[in-house]
Structures are given as C-alpha cells and as structure tokens.
Structure 1
C-alpha cells in the first residue's frame, strides 16, 4: 500500500509557492526518505520533458537561479543522485527547514508516521537583500 504525502514549499510568512503529492511505500519513514523521494520525483519529472527551467528543492550544478526556476546552460538530464546529495547537505547546513504537520524536523534520521493528512512543508531561507 502506498501512502500519499502532501509536500509544500512555503515562505516564512506561510505563503505556499509550490505543492505536490508524493507517494511513499512505508507508513514509517525518515526525514531523509522524504527528501530523497521528493528530489528523485522532481528530477524524474524534469528529465521526461527537459524544459528550459528546473523547479526543484535545490539548485543543480551548471545552472543559474532565475525568477522562473533554475535555468540550465544546456538542456540535459539531471542526475538524481547528485541532487539528493545536494539536498541532504543543504538540510544539514540549514539551507532549508522541514516542518512535519507544523513541527520542525531536527535530523535526517527523525521518523515520521504517515497518515492520510500528513503535510510536509519545506521552508527555504532567502538571503536578505543588502544584509
């Protein structure tokens, strides 16, 4: 049985920038499992169509950040393993925070029991302009 999870990208004031559904095979998962599944799904969707911009959790290598997402210098497939590594590293270095049902996840090994209404929010830190 698959468990469906709602994933949201939010700003600190609570504005939802992006929302997606993620299917996981187990009822008990870790924060690391959630990050890996999300990143792999984003990369697979991008690699099917190879659009001009990649809109994912973390910036792929050889891209520039734009208002429309990450623009690849040349359209090519993105390596999901590299993206997972970048995403896990970003979590460990406070590049973004994760809230599971509005409770902050503290570590990659933290366990999450999925229910039909589990929501995971990714909060990216945006650098202050001129700060």
Structure 2
C-alpha cells in the first residue's frame, strides 16, 4: 500500500498544504490517479455541511428578510465526473503539469510507480503577462 501525498503549486510561487491518500496499487495511470484525487476531494466537499446556527438571540423575521439568512443556504454539490473531465482537459491544454517524485508525467495514460511515500505535485502554469 502506498501513501500518496498531493501538493499543489503554481509557477507564481503559491503552494497549498499537502494532503495524503492511501492507494493499494503499486502502479496506476496518471488518469486514474487524478480520478481518485478528485473523487476524494469531491466526496469531502459534498459531505461537509455548514455548522448549524446556534445563536442565543435569533434574528427577527424582518432582519432575516433584509439581511438574508446566510446560514440556511444549501451547499452546492459538485459533480465528480465533470471535475474529472475539466482536469483532463486542463492537463491536455497545458494548464498544469504533474510531477511524481522528480519525474514529469507527460501523458494521462502513462503509468506511475507508487511507493510507500510518493509525492505528486500538480504544478499550475501561470501565463506570462503580455505573452
């Protein structure tokens, strides 16, 4: 079993905190690795719910009408299949590159070796101004 650590970076220097995912296979295509990452992220997003409002003093109906009741808005669900399609399109369009360890993976169907502590970096390419 491999622990794959995902890191998002951009050529502008931004870096998000890393997070890990357990994967049982030793080899996967980049397409499958992206699919699993997105499924995990979407599942976590869709499962999260805003904290119920537990206010000591509740707003009156007039206050709610004027200000809106922001705590009652339903969370928008995300479709994982759509996100996967968008990610594959971005990869093919050079929106980002993927590094597994120190090796760049160039095709979605390329297989990658997953070892015990594999780091996968998604490097978002930021276009140059005027270019």
Contact 1:50 1:77 in 2 (8 A): no
Distance 1:3 1:75, change over 3 A: same
Displacement after TM superposition at 1:46 (Å): 0.4
TM-score, normalised on structure 1?
0.73
Indicate the residue corresponding to 2:4 in structure 1. Answer: 5
Displacement after TM superposition at 1:50 (Å): 4.7
Indicate the residue corresponding to 2:76 in structure 1. Answer: 76
Contact 1:101 1:119 in 2 (8 A): yes
Indicate the residue corresponding to 2:92 in structure 1. Answer: 92
| Structure with the bigger percentage of helix | 2
1:60-75 alignment runs, 5 A limit: 75=75
Which structure 1 segments of 5+ residues have no match?
52-73
Q: Which runs of at least 4 in structure 1 moved beyond 4 Å after TM superposition?
A: none
The DSSP-based 3-state class of the residue aligned with 1:17 is: coil
- Provide the aligned length of Structure 1 versus Structure 2: 108
Displacement after TM superposition at 1:13 (Å): 6.6
TM-score, normalised on structure 2?
0.73
Indicate the residue corresponding to 2:21 in structure 1. Answer: 22
Alpha-carbon RMSD? 2.0
Deviations 1:69-102 (A, max 9, x none): xxxxx73110111111111111111111100112
Contact 1:6 1:119 in 2 (8 A): yes
Which structure 2 segments of 5+ residues have no match?
51-73
The DSSP-based 3-state class of the residue aligned with 1:22 is: strand
Displacement after TM superposition at 1:9 (Å): 0.5
